[in-house]
A and B are shown apart, each in its own frame.
Chain A
Amino acid sequence: MAQLAGRASAHDMDLVALSVGGNRDAFGELVRRHGSGVRALLRRMGADPATADDLAQDAFLAAFEQVAEFRGEGTFAGWVKRIAARLYIRRWRRQARMSLGAEAPDEDMGVGPGEAGANARIDLDEALKGLSQVERLCVSLCYGAGLSHAEAAAALNAPLGTVKSHVKRGLDKLKGALVAEPSLSSQERVYNG
């Protein structure tokens, strides 16, 4: 029990070091800490809940395999999120649901700047639903997974300018939706899977 309590209070990097030695319990603690964050990112990128969970699991399995390569540059959560984001992009491209270059933004789905009232609550998940899928993907990659525009463009195999345009349009739409009342955030809501 003391070992478990110690693990719960251990720093991520300590758990990573134990995981490098093949300690699956330590890695399990990392999954417990960051699993929801990775799942949330994938859902925000546009994956349905079941797909998001499958990909999050795959991302953690890949992270365990490659954990020795994690040198502590950035956070462990950020590192796993980037792995998960790339897995999602790979699946998304394979399914060829849309073409980045050809896609016209879904303007009618968007929430224009100022459209939401000043007192509207911050609800990132709801706000992201107002973006087209490719805008959602680009914004999530850059602000959720921590990729630069260039990295996102490389991951998506799309021109840098195209990605920047999608991010810009996505941000414009989100600005209208994400306003005021920072205390009301998605963190306080309990999801049912």
Chain B
Amino acid sequence: MGDRNFEARLESAFAETPVYGDADIFVLRVNDALERNWLMRRILIGALGVTGGLIGGAQLLRSGLIDHLGAVGGAWRVAGNDLAGLPLSRIFSDLFGGGPSTATEVLWMSGAMAIIALGLFVTRAMREF
């Protein structure tokens, strides 16, 4: 038997798949492991999300944003302005123009992060359902 012929036969013999009696059990075992991994990943992502949210919320509170929003709202009431009647540019100007720069930056950053988080959530939800 030539070497090449023998090697081809050997490759064929390796390619033959034996029939194991517990093949179905093995498939279930792998599927269970996949499911377990996925569950662990979701728990981890959820935990990280909650932690990130808590940190973000704490940062917002520490930045004095709430006080700034209250002050802007109070100024509007004193001036007799109706919020619904104000142009959007004015509202943005009052909110982001007059406050401390750190509060403005935090607000913009929080908004951007919220949009990114929403995008991730939507794409994940689309893949899941």
Contacts and interface: CB of A to CB of B under 8 A. Distances in A.
Given A28-B30, A61-B33, A36 B19 contact: yes
Which range holds the interface residue count of chain A? Answer: 35 or more
B18 to A, nearest CB: 5
A57 B30 contact: yes
A64 B15 CA distance: 22
Interface stretch (B34-42, B53-61, B85-93): B34-42
Where chain A touches its partner, the secondary structure class is helix
Given A36-B17, A36-B19, A53 B26 contact: yes
Contact of A175 (B6, B29, B33, B128): B6
Contacts, number: 104
Given A143-B7, A171-B6, A193-B21, A186 B34 contact: no
Contact of B31 (A22, A24, A178, A192): A24
Which range holds the interface residue count of chain B? Answer: 20 to 34
Contacts of B38: 24
B20 A144 contact: no
Given A186-B18, A187-B18, A178 B23 contact: no
B41 to A, nearest CB: 10
A140 B15 CA distance: 11
Interface string A130-160: 0000000001100110000000000000000
B25 to A, nearest CB: 8
Interface of A: 21-22, 24, 27-28, 31-32, 34-37, 39-41, 44, 53, 56-57, 60-61, 64, 122, 124-125, 139-140, 143-144, 171, 174-175, 178-179, 182, 185-187, 189-193
